């Protein structure tokens, strides 16, 4: 009875807060000064047709660096704790049942397309919706499908760790070059901005998105690989 009363009090408090927020909500009829600056000056200053890219990779590049760092720390922690429960055994995958022929055949057809699509998304992130995080997630999804189609397959964690490390170091290195060659950290104008709307444009943003995509993809794939190894021991 006491527990039910506590739930009712929490629900009532939540309803009161929600009602107050909805009653006082007013739609914004104009952009904030910062958003107005991004919308007005973004194409000329950054050279990216996708304004979201201009904000994420340049104006708020420190936020992106923080997000990538958080993802790296999360992957490292998950890998550390899951490795404590993983022991090599010849019989570790004997319980795995073979997948259907449909799943196995479809994976052979879809995985190459998924990898190409992931690369396309982060390479063209400065021109179209997408970017490093989205492209990296698509690439990681391709490896998920590979493990679903063939549960006994193994990922090479050394190669994944190498790609992850090189991508992270390259991202930070390019960001530091912006301090010395342009106007600040992750300033994309260390090289010519190129022709607006073309693939080779927006300075080093396409290169930054390549490294972000590879880093995110490798980190997510590493998590998936550790989860797979742990499940084999159950």
pLDDT at 208: 92
pLDDT at 177: 93
d(CA 33, CA 168): 33
pLDDT at 103: 84
203: left (phi over 0), alpha (psi -120 to 50) or beta: left
Residues with pLDDT less than 50, the chain: 90, 93, 95
Coil, helix or strand for 153? Answer: coil
d(CA 154, CA 146): 10
pLDDT digit string (tens) for 163-176?
988 998 999 999 99
d(CA 116, CA 112): 6
d(CA 15, CA 17): 5
pLDDT at 27: 81
d(CA 54, CA 42): 7
pLDDT at 90: 47
Coil, helix or strand for 201? Answer: strand
pLDDT at 85: 58
Structure-token match 């994309």, residue found:
188
pLDDT at 66: 87
pLDDT at 100: 78
User: What residue ranges do the domains of the chain occupy?
Assistant: 47-78+99-232
What string of DSSP letters covers 63-107? HHHHHHHHHHHHHHHHHHHHHHT----TTTTTTPPPPPHHHHHHH
């Amino acid at each position: 009875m006491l527990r039910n009363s506590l739930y009712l009090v929490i629900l009532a408090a939540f309803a009161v807060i929600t009602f107050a927020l909805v009653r006082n909500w007013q739609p914004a009829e104009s952009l904030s000064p910062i958003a107005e600056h991004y919308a007005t000056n973004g194409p000329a200053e950054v050279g990216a047709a996708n304004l979201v890219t201009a904000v994420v990779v340049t104006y708020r590049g420190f936020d992106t660096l923080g997000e990538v760092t958080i993802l790296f720390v999360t992957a490292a922690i998950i890998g550390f704790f899951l490795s404590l429960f993983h022991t090599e055994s010849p019989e570790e995958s004997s319980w795995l049942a073979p997948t259907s022929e449909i799943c196995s055949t479809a994976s052979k057809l879809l995985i190459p397309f998924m990898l190409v699509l992931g690369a396309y998304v982060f390479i063209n992130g400065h021109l179209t919706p997408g970017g490093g995080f989205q492209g990296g997630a698509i690439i990681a999804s391709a490896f998920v499908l590979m493990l679903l189609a063939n549960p006994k397959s193994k990922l090479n964690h050394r190669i994944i760790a190498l790609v992850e490390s090189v991508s992270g170091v390259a991202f930070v290195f390019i960001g530091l070059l912006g301090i010395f060659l342009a106007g600040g950290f992750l300033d994309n104008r260390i090289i010519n901005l190129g022709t607006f709307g073309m693939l080779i444009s927006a300075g080093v943003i396409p290169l930054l998105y390549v490294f972000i995509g590879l880093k995110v993809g490798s980190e997510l794939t590493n998590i998936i690989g550790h989860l797979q190894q742990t499940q084999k021991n159950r």
